[in-house]
Amino acid sequence: MRTTVTLDPDVERMLRDRVRATRSSFKQVLNNAVREGLQDKRGSRTKTRFVVEARPLRLRAGIDPARLGEVADELEIEAFLRTSGRLNARKSP
């Protein structure tokens, strides 16, 4: 099949470099590059099943694991205020 294709300058440069390196024709290098790019690479990978190994959290009684993000936020705010010297100013009446 004969067709006209507009190549980006960087793609043309890569193809011309490959032509020089392999001493092949531009047509052959272009066809090989298109074949490589269009091959279904999903089938060539080995599919391994992702497994999550669960471990008990061993939390103290009364700690809600769903609210740990909120606790982390509060601790981060306190640390910031402590380092900036504002915590002491806020607590004093």
Q: Is the pLDDT of residue 21 over 90?
A: yes
Measured between alpha carbons, how far is 16 from 19 in angstroms, rounded to an integer?
Answer: 5
Locus of tokens 């490589």: 36
pLDDT in tens, 64-91: 888 888 989 999 998 988 888 765 566 6
pLDDT in tens, 40-68: 776 666 678 889 999 888 888 888 888 88
3-state helix, strand, coil in the chain (%, to 5): 60, 0, 40
Structural element, H or E, at residue 73: helix 68-84
Q: CB under 8 Å to 24, separation ≥6 — which residues?
A: 18, 32
